[in-house]
Amino acid sequence: DIQMTQSPSSLSASVGDRVTITCRASQSIGDYVNWYQQKPGKAPKVLIYGASSLQSGVPSRLSGSGSGTDFTLTISSLQPEDFATYYCQQSYSTPYTFGQGTKLEIK
Amino acid sequence: QVQLQESGPGLVKPSETLSLTCTVSGGSVSGGSYYWTWIRQPPGKGLEWIGFIYYSGSTNYNPSLKSRVTTSIDTSKNQFSLKLTSVTSADTAVYYCARASAAVRTRYFDLWGRGTLVTVSS
């Protein structure tokens, strides 16, 4: 199985901050990485697919980059609605696997 | 718009079989555009892909669960289902049904049900 390792596991930041979450794959996976946001009690919501493509309706302050084994999700200016848990996921091969999550909290 | 809704017992006894159904409304499970997927999340933990089924009935399961998982699809009812046998407390989780594009380049989970908590306890 391809292991997806996210860092940090948790992050405290303030509204307006720029934050970056990283995800490392245990082997090269091209750009087959997707990013999800999950709020408490809700299903995950896709933000970025194919490492850098913004899902329709997602604000442009979110962006993704990377290829091979190292990927990043960046939020350029945090808004109150961005405080949530974020997961990366590889769709390169089955079994599809997720990172352990990064909880973004208000400082 | 297309919506997914999980249904099934919220409590299952150890060693018994967990059975869930996902009903698709506003769209069709037929047609070949999507893989119909099950994902679970133990309380306070991360996400685990269980497997998916195609409208044709072909399946792909997580090897960690493969010996206990069966999925099926009923195009007449616009539903797909999950069965997980010999459950233990480790199977306690929120179970989500989701949709993923059949196209490899866009194989992400773009639509999710609300999730249903299944607790394994005697």
- pLDDT given at position A27: 98
Residue among B49, B64, B112 whose CB faces A43 most closely: B112
CB distance B38 to B99 below 8 Å: no
Mean of all residue pLDDT scores within chain B: 96
Q: Which residues of B touch A55 (CB under 8 A)?
A: 110
CB distance B2 to B17 below 8 Å: no
Cis amide bond preceding A80, omega within 30? no
Q: Position A76: which residue type? A: S
- pLDDT given at position B104: 83
Question: 3-state DSSP call for residue A67?
Answer: strand
Q: What is the mean pLDDT of residues B11-24?
A: 98
Q: What is the mean pLDDT of residues B34-43?
A: 97
Q: Which residues of A touch B63 (CB under 8 A)?
A: 1, 95
B75-85 tens-digit pLDDT: 999 999 999 99
A68-96 tens-digit pLDDT: 999 999 999 999 999 999 999 999 999 99
- pLDDT given at position B89: 98
- pLDDT given at position B63: 98
Percent of chain B with pLDDT over 70: 100
Q: What is the mean pLDDT of residues A97-107?
A: 96
DSSP state letters, chain B: --EEEEES-SEE-TTS-EEEEEEEESS-S-SSSEEEEEEEE-TTS--EEEEEE-TTS-EEE-TTTTTTEEEEEETTTTEEEEEE-S--GGG-EEEEEEEEESSGGG-SEEEE---EEEEE--
B23-37 tens-digit pLDDT: 999 999 997 899 999
Residue among A46, A91, A100 whose CB faces B46 most closely: A100
CB distance A21 to A71 below 8 Å: no
Judging by beta carbons within 10 Å of its beta carbon (0-12, 13-18, 19+), is residue B49 exposed, middle or buried? buried
Cβ–Cβ gap A89/B47 under 8 Å: yes
Residue among A42, A49, A97 whose CB faces B49 most closely: A97
- pLDDT given at position B32: 83
Residue among A42, A46, A97 whose CB faces B108 most closely: A46
Q: Which residues of A touch B108 (CB under 8 A)?
A: 34, 46, 49-50, 89, 91
Q: Look-up: residue for tokens 């946001």?
A: A37
Q: Position B16: which residue type? A: E
Q: What is the mean pLDDT of residues A43-59?
A: 97
Residue B89: Cβ within 10 Å count: 11
B77 Cβ partners below 8 Å, 6+ apart?
Answer: B23
- Residue B5 corresponds to which tokens in the numbers above? 């809704």
- CA pair distance B91, B40, nearest whole angstrom: 9
At residue B105 the predicted structure's pLDDT band, cuts being 50, 70 and 90, is confident
A8-48 tens-digit pLDDT: 999 999 999 999 999 999 999 999 999 999 999 999 999 99
Q: Please give, rounded to a whole number of angstroms, the shortest distance from the CA of B83 to a CA of chain A.
A: 18
At residue B103 the predicted structure's pLDDT band, cuts being 50, 70 and 90, is confident
Beta bridge partners of A20: A74
Query: What part of B 39-98 touches A (C-beta under 8 Å)?
Result: 46-49, 60-64, 96, 98
